[in-house]
Amino acid sequence: MAAAMVDKDFATVAELTHPKVVAQVGGAMALAKRLDTAYAGLTVKSMKFARPEQIQDVRGTLIGVFRFREKILVRSQIVEVNSFYIGFAAGKSNWKFIDCDGVTQHYLAALLPGYTSNLDLNGC
């Protein structure tokens, strides 16, 4: 995810995004276009992830918090942002992510049946 964000490879970012979120925005191409528009004039210089936290097994799907620190170039200024993604991995599949912005416990329960509202979402 970090390399794709730095490279502005939004097609790869869409591939790494939770499929239900991709469907909600109209598909992978629509998501990539939204990201391209949102990041116009911005350059992600780096994205460093901490170790995953709060890993839980919800009916065979792992869910966890992936905190990161991002350096973004905005109008010749570097801005540092701390945030996190919520990651999901079912069985032996690769992790899929959602940005924590605006995520509620109710939304997570809708994405992952059986989720019991116990991830700490503070700091998003």
Measured between alpha carbons, how far is 97 from 25 in angstroms, rounded to an integer?
Answer: 15
CATH number at residue 71: 3.10.450.100
Is residue 65 exposed (0-12), middle (13-18) or buried (19+ Cβ within 10 Å)? buried
Instruction: Establish if 124 belongs to a structural domain.
Output: no
Average pLDDT, the chain: 92
Instruction: Establish if 8 belongs to a structural domain.
Output: yes
Tens digits of residue pLDDT in 20-43:
999 999 999 999 999 999 999 999
Q: In which domain, by residue range, is 103 found? A: 2-111
Tens digits of residue pLDDT in 39-78:
999 999 999 999 999 999 999 999 999 999 999 999 999 9
Is residue 31 exposed (0-12), middle (13-18) or buried (19+ Cβ within 10 Å)? buried
Q: Give the count of domains, the chain.
A: 1
CA angle 31, 33, 39 (to 5 degrees): 100
